[in-house]
Structure 1
Amino acid sequence: MWAEMTSMEARFGDATRIVPLPNPWNLTSYLAAVAAHRGRSISLHTAPKALLHEIGCGGGGLWIARKHDDIIVSDVEATDRNADHIVLHQVGHMLLGHGTRESTREVPPRLALMLPSVSPQSIEHMLGRDEFGVEREREAEVFADMTMVYATLPQRRSRSFRLFGRGK
């Protein structure tokens, strides 16, 4: 378990060095920095939680990677911190390299009606909770949790992840 946590800490540290957390925290600024790092824009959309659950996104979020951009779909009823957490969970998948072309699938018809600009031909992969697997889901969840914690800490010159309970 310790080696696993150290590896996770290193990967999260790499992610925050590559795309530093803005100080003061601002989700829009952070998404712009992630998009710039990836060379792809990121757009946010919402859908009813029941629809997301129906298509295998029990956590309330979905990442659609197209050829030139990324779309994050979150629960339309999620508010404030919960909405940010859902978005950050999907960003965690992006920055931790969880995407895979093997998970390509078509946009479910009900979601396609809500996102008419998303043509099936433009999708590289569409990933919800079922496609990532337990380990990757846990990593993305911890990434989102840690980002939310660091976003609420008092402002400091430098911000990077340090897992709880670890010495300096």
Structure 2
Amino acid sequence: MHWRRLRRQCEKVIGEIPLPEPFSAQELCTRLAAERSRPLHLLPLPTPTAPGTPSGMWLATERADYVFYDAQTSPLHQEHIIMHEIGHMVCDHRSGIDDLRLYRHIDIADPQSIRQALPRLRYSDEQEQEAEMIATLILEAAGRLPAPSRLSGMLAGLESAMGLRGQRGTGASCSHG
């Protein structure tokens, strides 16, 4: 799917999300928890993340959602990580990880109740592209990121060549429930 189609699709999803003004990740999580009728906890990862380890993760248990993020990075990056995980949550993405015992050591009240774990490691699959687009759109709507360029022609080509604009994916559909 072309990135513009992915963007339009994800814009519809975030159009249903009650963005707070002024914006804060914590307030957005409070609103989403109320809308979903289940607690949503924001928790920093226990240590700074190293390359190859998650900088964020959405964990769904039987009774609550948990969003973990790297608290050792800039505030804007923290917000982006949190919004990315919220993207997974609102799209009801599913993990390809079968062995959830790997996540049982995380400090939550009942680690045996983990039903879904999506670590933020790769950006190549469709779910990751959707979550990344959702994060970008939420932060754009909140005024944390500049709106996308409307350049065309040669200037758009230069922007794309410099990595500032381009395709975001090849196919995705955000189905949330």
Residue 5 of structure 1 pairs with residue 4 of structure 2: yes
Q: Relative to structure 2, which stretch is displaced further, 13-22 or 70-79?
A: 13-22
SS, match of residue 152 in structure 1: coil
**Residue in structure 2 matched with residue 145 of structure 1 by the alignment:** 136
Letter of the structure 1 residue corresponding to residue 11 of structure 2: G
**Residue in structure 2 matched with residue 36 of structure 1 by the alignment:** 34
Q: 1:72 aligns with which of 60, 67, 70?
A: 67
Letter of the structure 2 residue corresponding to residue 91 of structure 1: I
Structure 1: stretches of 5+ with no match in the other structure: 154-161
| Cα pair 2:97 2:117 within 8 Å, conserved | no
Structure 2: stretches of 5+ with no match in the other structure: 152-177
Deviations 1:126-166 (A, max 9, x none): 1113588611111111211121122117xxxxxxxx97549
Inter-partner Cα distance in structure 1 for 2:148 and 2:36: 25
Cα distance, 1:104–1:22 mapped onto 2, change above 3 Å: farther
Q: How many residues of Structure 1 are paired with residues of Structure 2 in the alignment?
A: 148
Matches within 5 A, 1:15-164: 15-47=13-45, 48-50=47-49, 56-57=53-54, 60-99=55-94, 103=98, 105-108=100-103, 112=105, 115=107, 117-120=109-112, 122-129=113-120, 134-152=125-143
SS, match of residue 49 in structure 1: coil
Q: RMSD over aligned Cα, in angstroms?
A: 2.9
- Determine what percentage of the aligned residue pairs are the same residue: 22
Deviation at 1:93, TM superposition (A): 0.6
Deviations 1:17-48 (A, max 9, x none): 32222222222221112112222111111222
Bigger proportion of residues as helix: 1
4+ residue runs over 6 A deviation: none
Q: Relative to structure 2, which stretch is displaced further, 42-51 or 69-78?
A: 42-51
